[in-house]
Structure 1
Amino acid sequence: MTDHLPAVLDRIDTDLDKSLERLFEFIRIPSISTDPAYKAECRQAAEWLAAELRDLGFDASACMTQGHPMVVGHQVEAAGGPHVLFYGHYDVQPVDPIELWTTPPFEPTLVAAPNGDTWIVARGASDDKGALMTFIEACRAWKAVSGTLPIRVSILLEGEEESGSPSLKPFLEAHREELSADVALVCDTDMWDNDTPAVTTMLRGLVGEEIEITCASRDLHSGMFGSAARNPIHVLAEILATLRDGEGRITLQGFYDGVQELPDAVKEQWGRLPFDEAGFLGQVGLSIPAGERGRSVLEQIWARPTCEVNGIVGGYTGEGFKTVIPSTASAKVSFRLVTGQDPAKVREAFRAHVRARVPGDCSVTFKEHGGSPALSLPLDGPWLKPTLDALTEEWGREAALAGTGGSIPIVGDFKRMLNMDALMVGFARFDNRVHSPNEKYDLSSFHHGIRSWARILAAFAR
């Protein structure tokens, strides 16, 4: 079966224009999941995908949920070997502000890029329609050349990723046996840089907390009560200032329990990859890394846990000036976690840290804003090396082992609910302007992404 790979790659090259036509037809469906006005369009996008999969020989349908449909497809003529589940999402973000778009957001446009590439400009071009179509088009080429796929393939495409995926967990629970596979393939990630492919092997977890400090029973005149009455903004600021020490380490009791050092092999590879620390911070007007001292910027943003204050509210913040001592002050605080940390323990350590520092005549309340553990793909598992080799062969650059500072909830759901690791391979560039006006996907990402998935399928068959 793998002997067909050269012909499959040739077919991808020959049919690129047709692949683009299908992508453009898909993009023109304004499947904005968060806006109820586009419910019919989300259903249309799901039905469009199900029809495409059926044309490729999948047993596929748009399955109804309490929200937008889930598209599920299974290869009818299943090959032997491993079984993979490919995941993507067909819904997109709203287009606002519309006046900042240079072309209609749902009319895909090819634009010449300064580096000689071509940009596909449209809402969803990168996130996630262009990305998921790279896999479908790779399957199309394999079917056209050999009549079947080299391994067993199932596909799950959801329509609520951009609106919190409320239907996903119930759907996974109800279809646990049907959707279980040897490994999940997730396409919603980035390249290392414009020319270097990457496999994302680490996802940080998340703990979100909102705290409110209450002191006096009402707002007070600062001239009449100043110094004598406790100011909750002072209390809050003092507490927040104790969350990190002068070395950039987080001070919560037991916070680093279970945190492991980065494997030497990964650290060495990161050292070989082109990454400009000064340029990374310089692009946002900064120059001094603020995390743990002695750690590289890549370690700080990918492999180490964090504590960040995301917002503070207290007192009078309107126009002009008001001499008031507020009754309450609040803050939103988030922790990004790494493998080995327990979100529940981190949350409780944070609350204990705060409670211990609230004055006796004041009070504090907490509001939870979600939590999930970090995940990592086993570096010695059977899926990583063949994927890295396939990407390196396609792009002509050593494929990188990457981390990400963010979280992809579906990866955790696959692990917890289906006991399935996820291989995260994407071809987006950092400048793709996802969720923003003039979102784009590089034509080279689309073309080489299709070829990359074709190679990965062949590598898994071997």
Structure 2
Amino acid sequence: MQKILDTVDAQLETSLERLFAFLRIPSISAQPSHAGDCRKAAEWARDALAGMGFSARLSETSGLPGVIATHHEAGPNAPHVLFYGHYDVQPADPLELWNSDPFDPQLVDGPRGKRIVARGAVDDKGQVVSFMEAVRAHLAVNGKLPVRLTVLLEGEEENGSPSLAELLSNERETLAADFVYVADTNMWDFATPAITTSLRGLAAIEVRLHGPKRDLHSGLFGGIALNPIQALVSILGELKDDTGRIQIPGFYDGITPVSPAQAENWAGLGFDARAFLGDVGLSTPAGEADQLPLAQLWARPTAELNGIYGGYQGEGSKTVIPAHATAKLTFRLVAGQDPEKVLKHFERFVTERLPKDARVEFKRGGAAPGFSLSPDAPFLRAATAALAAEFNKPAALIGSGASIPVVEAFKTHLGLDTLLVGFGLDDDCIHSPNEKFEMACFHRGTRAHARMLTAFAAQP
């Protein structure tokens, strides 16, 4: 292991040169004018992997191609790891807010030492190259890897992954593995590595409540006619009680409470809810009162009103009772909840509270379940030990209140769980001007990847 780490250190300058070459390609998947650049980035990654001894190719889809590369010299009994990343990047706009050309990578001074500044520096080209350089060091020292490794790089992650299901279906046999390893997330802080072990799912719905057959004059009909806005807000006002608990019957079915060990781990992270909320002009956690702030963020479901409208919206006053009112809601779900059942429970909740003369329509949006990784997963134990060895402190086992669609895609199409380990930071300006990747995070991330590959091989 020490020889491999020494090799990582010795090749750092050339690793940076390779990353800069990758970053110079403006592979913006959301803009059709950059389709050629996206293909160029895919070819760059394919050729880089082939140059390390992988069997590498492009996998065509109805959209942008995926990159598929395999290195199975470890033998049939070695663990099989599927590494996922993406070669596409966000648009760089607004260009005037960048301190340098977003596709002319710079190494600049920062408060934590040197930092790499470019679009894609951390999301996700820097993290992909960090992993590739760890692989390169293993091969330089041993001539082979300790695990069977398949690499999948997608070209449309920043554009909603419209062709990912097609890609996974086309390559199901090639991508069969023991688990998926994703490096597209953050550390807890600059000194503390993190593994994201849970994600919230999502269920979206629009509800429209109808009353009179047309808008009415509030003087002629006010006091006797049903007002859809008032009826809808009255119903939605019953969604939560005074403690923040959601009142939809059956909503919490299937949820596993936060374990004492997980609660202790989170309590030790020193999360300051007041400071977190202070950044957005708030001060007090508004979720379930009996839950830790981090549990409110990571381990508890939500019912959020995203928009509500009806009636007159223009300047001044218009004395109208509207014919209908509409609200848009999303539910952030945790592992164990069934999105289909949650939406049915909500529809029943609204329908049972409809006043006379009202009728309701529902329009469902996207839905995906939450994700939770078992603490007993061998690859999780291996990653935890490897990160502790590199950073000289335990990794934070964190959750994410958001969703990462590729995790659900891997579960649905390949039946695989996902290990989420990344080396970005909260202030890396992901999707914003002056995106950066701390040089220390790139370097230590490469060393940690190298350690994890060895640790994976020691697990059943």
Partners of 2:146 and 2:27 in 1: CA distance: 32
- 1:383 matched to 2:388? The reply is no
Match of 1:349 in 2: 345
Q: Matched residues in 1 for 2:354 and 2:103: separation?
A: 52
Contact 2:23 2:120 (8 Å CA) reproduced: yes
For residue 15 of structure 1, what is the aligned residue in structure 2? 11
**Which residue of structure 2 lines up, in the alignment, with residue 432 of structure 1?**
428
Structure 1 position 44 matched with structure 2 position 40: yes
- The equivalent of 2:302 in structure 1 is 306
Distance 1:395 1:64 in 2: 39
Q: Tell me which of 244, 252, 256 is aligned to 1:260.
A: 256
> 1:14-163 maps to which residues of 2 (within 5 A)?
14-75=10-71, 77-79=73-75, 80-114=77-111, 116-163=112-159
Matched, 1:247 2:243: yes
Deviates more, 1:260-269 or 1:152-161: 260-269
1:321 shift after superposition: 4.0
Q: 350-359 or 446-455, which moves further after superposition?
A: 350-359
Of the three residues 199, 213, 228, the one matched with 1:203 is 199
1:57, 1:76 within 8 Å by CA — same for their partners in 2?
no
The structure 2 residue matched to 1:365, chosen from 345, 358, 361, is 361
Moved more, 271-280 or 394-403: 271-280
Aligned length: 457
- 1:237 aligns to 2:229 (yes or no): no
3-state SS in 2 of match to 1:306: coil
1:286 equivalent to 2:276? Answer no
Local SS of the residue matching 2:19: helix
Alpha-carbon distance in 1 for matches of 2:266, 2:330: 26
- Give the conservation status (yes or no) of the 8 Å contact 2:198–2:371: yes
> 1:77 is paired with a residue of what secondary structure?
coil
1:415 to 407, 411, 418: 411
Does 2:438 align with 1:442? yes
Q: Give CA-to-partner distance per residue, 1:28-53, whole Å, 9 cap, x none.
A: 11111122111111111111111111
Q: Establish whether residue 324 from structure 1 lines up as the match of residue 320 from structure 2.
A: yes
Q: Deviations over 1:363-418 (max 9, x none)?
A: 22111111111111111121111211110111122111111111111112222221
State the Cα deviation string for residues 69-114 of structure 1 (Å, max 9, x = none).
Answer: 0110001534452010000111111222222222222222223223
SS in 1 for 2:294: helix
Question: Does the aligned pair in 1 maintain the 2:72–2:147 contact within 8 Å?
Answer: no
Q: Take 1:243 and 1:311, find their aligned partners in 2: how far apart are those partners?
A: 15
Does the CA-based 8 Å contact 2:72-2:149 persist in structure 1? Answer: no
Change (3 A) 1:123 1:247: same
Q: Which of 164, 183, 192 is residue 188 of structure 2 equivalent to? A: 192
TM-score, length of structure 1 as denominator length: 0.95
For 1:220 and 1:330, locate their aligned partners in 2 and report how far apart those are by CA, in whole Å: 17
- 8 Å CA contact 1:59–1:76 kept in 2: the answer is no
Counterpart position of 2:269: 273
SS at match of 2:378: coil
Aligned equivalent of 2:293, options 294, 297, 314: 297
User: Tell me, what secondary structure is at the counterpart of 1:50?
Assistant: helix
- Tell me the secondary structure at the aligned position of residue 9 of structure 2: helix
Structure 1 gap segments, 5+ residues each: none
Per-residue deviation, 1:56: 0.9
For 1:452, which of 443, 448, 452 is the aligned residue?
448
Following superposition of structure 1 onto structure 2, how do residues 329-340 of structure 1 map, counting pairs within 5 Å? 329-340=325-336
Q: Deviations over 1:423-450 (max 9, x none)?
A: 1101111111211222221111111111
Of the structure 1 ranges 361-370 and 72-81, higher mean CA displacement relative to structure 2 is found in 72-81
- Go from structure 1 to structure 2 and tell me whether the alpha carbon gap of 1:43 and 1:318 turns closer, same or farther (over 3 Å shift): farther
| Partner residue, 1:402 | 398
2:214 matches 1:218 = yes
Q: Is the 8 A contact 2:61 2:166 kept in 1?
A: no
1:435 maps to a residue whose letter is H
SS of equivalent residue, structure 1 residue 310: strand
* Distance of aligned partners of 1:350 and 1:75 in 2 relative to their CA distance in 1, 3 Å threshold: same
From the superposition, tell whether residues 435 and 328 of structure 1 become closer, same or farther in structure 2 (CA, over 3 Å).
Answer: farther
Equivalent position of 2:457 in the other structure: 461
State the alpha-carbon separation in 1 of the partners of residues 436 and 267 from structure 2: 30
3-state secondary structure, aligned to 2:296: helix
Cα deviations by residue, 1:300-319 (Å, 9 ceiling, x for unpaired): 00011111111222233334
After superposition, give the CA deviation of every residue in 1:260-279 in whole Å (9 maximum; x if it has no partner). Answer: 11111111111222222221
Which segment is superposed worse, 259-268 or 322-331? 322-331
Which amino acid letter does the alignment assign opposite residue 384 of structure 2?
Answer: L
**Contact 1:210/1:330 (8 A) holds in 2:** yes
Instruction: Report sequence identity in percent.
Output: 53
Pair 106,325 (structure 1): closer, same or farther in 2 beyond 3 Å: farther
Post-superposition offset of 1:320: 4.1
- SS of the aligned residue for 2:309 comes to strand
